[in-house]
Amino acid sequence: MSEGMQQIQIVQNEDEWLEDQVRRSVFVASWDKVIDKIIDPLYNWGRRNSVWPIGFGLACCAIEMICTSASRFDISRFGMELFRASPRQADLMIVSGTVTKKMLPAVVRLYNQMAEPKYVLAMGACASAGGPFKEGYNVVSGLDKFIPIDVYVPGCPPTPQALLNGLMTLQKKIDKQTIREAAWYKKGQAEAIPDPVLGPDLIDARRAEEITMLAHAPDQLATRAIKIQTKAETKHEKK
């Protein structure tokens, strides 16, 4: 008999032995700990460094977005240089410019077509709140009235540095997310935002009933507006 054979131990109790082996070679922790310490950081690290924006420029801010992705500011440092032409492949929508009423149905549809996890960054004053053109009759005063926005970047246009800062803010947001609460792992389908309709003016489909009700009740409608004095009225009063 060779020496090696002699070292074989006879297992007395198989269960005990197995337990011992498992204890030695398998890392055992609570499920929560695994998610918090291993899965989430790893998963988020991967996601935050490969956010692919949808290649979609709206207005002046788009030019600064292009500059951000060009050689000087180099968005590839963040793994975000892959501007995808298709919403299906994109994670981030940089709303770079004024959203007009005519464009809004397309923007909402693009957002709906993007796969989860998806993020929206409102670049510039226009996308955030209407900007210098807020008073215009064809301008949506803030895209957040229709789709949820994750990061707002102020400026008109925001400089590339500001946009990069916004993207880093988004990365921080991604870092804080956990798959336990991620909407995209929940059961069932996420509800799409209904397409706005272009009628005599823009119709938010979610408000259609309210609009119809108010349009038929002029008295009630009148009470909803805060009256202000025009210049002519102010002058008249002074006299």
Binding residues among 108-147 for ligand SF4 as defined by CB under 6 A: 124-126, 131-132
Residue for token digits 């609570």?
30
Interatomic CA distance for residues 51 and 65, integer angstroms: 15
The minimum distance between CB 163 and ligand SF4, in angstroms, equals 11
11 interacts with another protein by CB under 8 A: no
- Pattern 118-147, another protein, x by CB under 8 A: ------------x-xxxxxxxxxx---x--
The radius of gyration computed from the CA coordinates of the chain, to the nearest angstrom, equals 28
Beta strand 197-198 pairing with 119-123: unpaired
Cα gap 177→116, rounded to integer Å: 13
For another protein, the binding residue among 39, 60, 162, 193 (CB under 8 A) is 60
Please, which of residues 74-93 interact with another protein by CB under 8 A?
Answer: 83, 85
Q: Is 100 in the site for ligand SF4 (CB under 6 A)?
A: no
Q: Which does 110 bind (CB under 5 to 8 A by kind): another protein, ligand SF4, none?
A: another protein
- Tell whether residue 230 is a contact of another protein (CB under 8 A): yes
Structure tokens given for 41: 């950081």
Q: Residue 61, class by beta-carbon neighbours within 10 Å (0-12 exposed, 13-18 middle, 19+ buried)? A: buried
Cβ burial 143-158 (10 Å sphere, 16+ → b, else e): bbebbebbbbbebebb
Helix H or strand E encompassing 95: strand 92-96
Contacts of ligand SF4 in 12-71 (CB under 6 A): 59-61
Would you report the helix, strand and coil content of the chain in percent, each value rounded to 5? 50, 10, 40
Instruction: Kindly state whether residue 115 participates in binding another protein, applying the rule CB under 8 A.
Output: no
Q: Which of 53, 87, 97, 196 binds ligand SF4 (CB under 6 A)?
A: 97
Q: Give the residues lining the site for another protein (CB under 8 A).
A: 55-60, 62-64, 66-67, 70-72, 83, 85, 97-98, 100-103, 106, 110, 130, 132-141, 145, 156-157, 159, 197-204, 207-209, 211-212, 214-216, 218, 221-222, 224-226, 228-235
Binding site for ligand SF4 (CB under 6 A): 59-61, 97-98, 124-126, 131-132, 156-157
